Amino acid sequence: MNKRKIGDSIQQFGRTLLLPIGVLAPIGMLLGISGALTQDYMVDKVPFLGNEAVNTILVSIKTISNVVFDNIPLLFAMGVAYGMGKKDKGISVFASVAGYLTLIVAMNVWLTITGTMADPEVMTQQGQINILGIQTVNISAAGGILTGLIAAWATERFYNLELPAALAFFSGKKSVPIITIGLMATVGMLLPFVWTYFVGLLTNLSTIFLSVVGPFFTAAGERLFIPFGLHHVWNALFRFTEAGGSYVIDGKTYVGVVPAITEILFNQGPNSEYWSMMPKLSRFMAQQQMLVVLFLFPAIAFAMYKAAYKENKAYVKSMLVTMVLTALLGNVTEPLEFTFVFLAPLLYIVYACIVGIGAVLLSLADVSIGYIRGTIFDFTIFGLLYENSRWIFLVLIGLGLAVVTYFIFYWAIIRFDIKTPGREELQNVDSTLLKEKRYDEIASKVVEALGGKENILNVDNCITRLRIDLKEVRDIDKELLNSTGCSGFFFPTAKHIHIVYGTQVEFIKNAVDEKV
């Protein structure tokens, strides 16, 4: 496998993490609301919340929502299998579920054979966990991700497997889950031997992440990985593995930041003894994103507006406001970031460093806000509704960095004549097709601009971008592509194009699929 294929595979893997994370985010908001409104201090402030019917509804929402977080590895197994599979995603997902169940049972058998099965009361301290009623080795989301990768590989490799006539019934797609089960049984018996060494490696990495300057690397790293589509992989590293640390809460060990913060936010609450751990956890989570979307983005957009040519300001303003609102309400940052990341990469690096510095300052101020998303809604739920979140320091630090960011961007744009929105001679600000949701017309133009359907090898998308593999790039009509209303496009690799449309991209992708 050459470097390009390896890079493409890593990007594809990063996209697969969006599906389970996309489920965790809104369910996390439900848990956040129900968890906050059932806290004793909230009931004291708003007696209506103590009403039996209201409390029952809130507790029920919390209980039902918890099923998602109790089965995070299984969600990752299905999400990765779906995202990495190409030939038959349904079979790939089915095989991943069968494979994951086999994995946890195989590790249970290993614990039994080796005599290392811990007593249920102390199993979490010994790296074991109960999943779906099965006591097994706690490999967290990594087990689900590994299963998903193996299931996707088995689907691609054995989808058309032909067996002798006597076994013909098990040929083709039926062979995929059977082979996956066999592979995961083997993995489950071998994995505990190597897991100890792997955990040691991640634990060593955690010494960097968990240091005082750790938030700088995690926050700045996320911004720097965004143009390459690898930020989801980066975030998953410390959110779901030992690289993010291990935390003992109520006698139970939680691996990674997300499981630990989930327990404290939604079960323990601000009045528990474990709330003091929140600043150590939340510094790697959404408060970094809130710093960006609530404060830095308005500053960057305002700097671009002030630097735009006078005759362009009217229509550029609406575009910039839309980009800021997209981040503020939807947690999607690429549209605005892509207006300068490729035009001024050094400025983008400075921007990433500002975010990193801000993350460190939030950590030093013991700010304890947020879960996965960084929208204004999340700030309201996890910042304003929860006691002891120290949200005021996010506002103070955010406002200070916003002023610094504004002057840096305005100076850089003017000094180096960076062609940000409003400073180009010919502006692509016509997003009529996108605003009117004329996806079929957009798709027709995209296919034509990319050299016709015969030049398109594969079409995929992430949250904001079309990701298309091409045979040749020489015949691309850039003007026609701009006329579709995209925010921009670029080539992360030689024959792979990213076209930025924002949160409506999935509908455009579906329309393009129909055309090709």
User: Can you tell me the distance from the alpha carbon of 69 to that of 88, in angstroms, rounded to the nearest whole number?
Assistant: 27
User: Which amino acid, one-letter code, is at 166?
Assistant: A
Q: Would you list the DSSP string of 433-495?
A: HHHTT-HHHHHHHHHHHTT-GGGEEEEEE-SSEEEEEES-STT--HHHHHTTT-SEEEEEETT
Residues 516 and 443: their CA atoms lie apart, in Å, by 10
Whether the Cβ atoms of residue 508 and residue 443 lie closer than 8 Å to each other? yes
Contact 502, 326 (CB under 8 A): yes
Closest CA relative to residue 33, chosen from 404, 263, 378, 477: 378
Please answer whether residues 413 and 422 qualify as being in contact, where contact means their C-beta atoms are separated by less than 8 angstroms: no
Q: State yes or no: is 462 an active-site residue.
A: yes
Give SS3 for 136: strand
d(CA 360, CA 358): 5
- Burial (0-12, 13-18, 19+ Cβ within 10 Å), 193: exposed
Query: Do 337 and 255 form a contact (C-beta atoms < 8 A)?
Result: no
Q: Of 436, 498, 489, which Cα lies nearest the Cα of 461?
A: 498
How far apart CA 463 and CA 452 sit, in angstroms, is: 24
Of the residues 323, 462, 505, 508, which is catalytic?
A: 462
Instruction: Give me the residue label for tokens 């009509």.
Output: 477
Cα–Cα nearest to 355, from 292, 284, 285: 292
Q: 168-183 b/e with 16+ CB inside 10 Å = b?
A: eeeebbebbbebbbeb
Q: Work out whether strand 252-255 and strand 456-461 pair parallel, antiparallel, or are unpaired.
A: unpaired
Residues 6+ positions from 39 with CB-CB distance below 8 Å: 269, 270, 271, 386, 387
Catalytic residues: 462
